[in-house]
Amino acid sequence: MEKIEFENFTALESKLTEDKEFAAKILNAVKVTEVGKAYGDTIAKTYFEENKGSAHSYAWDMVDEALQGAGYEKPKGVRTSDWAAQIAKEANTYKQKIEGLRGEGGKEALEKQQAAWIAEKQQLEADYLKSLNDERTKYTELNGKVTISSRRSIIEKELANGTPSAAIDKASFKEISDFKINQLAKNATEENGKIIWNDADGKPYKNGVLNADLDYVVNVVFGNLLQKGKAGGGAQGGTDGVVITGNVLTLDAAKFNTGVEFMNVFNTAAALQGIAKGSEEYYKLYEDTKTAYKVSEMPES
């Protein structure tokens, strides 16, 4: 073995610093001694204490990443260990519920619970749709009331151009006209933004082949309530409040209650219009007017 001598300890330290191979040989010789072993343990403990914090943090970061990757969302301000414990507790709760269901009837119990959940979901959907339909119904009803009210105003304005028949008192005129106005407003429809005035059967009033305008319709519906009809919309003006609307002679219904009275009133009105009794026009007008006033439901005399 090579013999090396140093003048002092400082020279030894200098040699160890400068010569790595020499330093390695010295460490290899010292590490098997009691002093070397104790020194090595001290170095290892010191390294662990200095680095265990970062290693600990790294481990929990890996746990965070794994749980978030599985779809969990970490609450703010909660330690990873507490969060993991909470997840484990919830998982255990669900496990116990499932095991309980299995214990109560196995697959049948699970299917029953699943059916209950589906039924609950369907009921919620049905309740929502019903609520939505109720709101739509309320809107439709409100809109319908507004529409009918608007049509009533239009009819009332047109009717105001006429004069109530002297044979009808004011209270009766108002009662009858209100009823007819309301029916006419309800029966009306709209097409391309224009009001179509319909009868009780839903058929449009016609002026020839065309849908009748309101002034024409008012003469048809309210002619027997007015002292003088409006000669518009194809109506032919006459005297004494007589108006021919289409194929119907407008008469004062208060003047007849029997078939004979109707015939007398009709003949007088037709003569005033210059319609010859016994002519084809006379018979056609007579039959249509008789039907319009429901004379067949009256006593003959």
Predicted local confidence at residue 276, as pLDDT:
78
State percent of the chain over pLDDT 70: 69
Task: Put the strands of the sheet holding 236-237 in their side by side order.
Answer: 236-237, 243-245, 248-250
Q: Which residue has the tokens 């059967």?
A: 201
Asked if residue 173 lies in contact with residue 181, where contact means CB atoms within 8 angstroms, the answer is no
- CB-based contacts of 231: which residues, under 8 Å, 6+ apart? 237, 243
DSSP state of 244: E
Backbone phi, psi, residue 98, to 5°: -65, -45
The per-residue pLDDT for range 95-108, each reduced to its tens digit, is: 676 666 666 566 67
User: 280-292 and 259-272 helices cross at what angle (nearest 10)?
Assistant: 130
Of the ranges 69-83, 195-209, 236-250, which is most confident? 195-209
Cα distances from 215 to residues 70, 273, 297, 298, in angstroms, run: 77, 21, 29, 29
Terminal C-alpha separation, the chain: 162
- Binned at pLDDT 50, 70 and 90, residue 134 comes out as low
Predicted local confidence at residue 131, as pLDDT:
67
Q: Where are the domains of the chain?
A: 1-51, 132-255
Cα distances from 249 to residues 145, 241, 270, 272, 287, in angstroms, run: 34, 11, 8, 11, 10
Amino acid making up residue 220? V
The per-residue pLDDT for range 251-293, each reduced to its tens digit, is: 888 888 998 888 888 888 887 777 777 788 888 888 888 888 8
Predicted local confidence at residue 87, as pLDDT:
73
pTM of the model: 0.33
Asked if residue 250 lies in contact with residue 262, where contact means CB atoms within 8 angstroms, the answer is no
Per-residue tokens: 45: 């403990």
* Backbone φ/ψ region at 233: left (φ over 0), alpha (ψ -120 to 50), beta: left
225 vs 128: which has the higher pLDDT: 225
Whether residue 17 is predicted with pLDDT greater than 70 in this model: the reply is yes
Whether residue 139 is predicted with pLDDT greater than 60 in this model: the reply is no
- Binned at pLDDT 50, 70 and 90, residue 296 comes out as confident
Specify the 3-state DSSP secondary structure of 74.
coil
Whether residue 44 is predicted with pLDDT greater than 80 in this model: the reply is no
The per-residue pLDDT for range 161-217, each reduced to its tens digit, is: 888 877 677 888 888 888 889 989 999 998 888 899 998 888 998 877 788 888 888
Asked if residue 214 lies in contact with residue 154, where contact means CB atoms within 8 angstroms, the answer is yes
118 vs 57: which has the higher pLDDT: 118
Of the ranges 32-46, 112-126, 137-151, 231-245, which is most confident? 112-126
Cα distances from 106 to residues 90, 187, 254, in angstroms, run: 22, 63, 85
Predicted local confidence at residue 230, as pLDDT:
41
Whether residue 241 is predicted with pLDDT greater than 60 in this model: the reply is no
Strands (E), 193-284: 194-196, 206-207, 210-211, 236-237, 243-245, 248-250
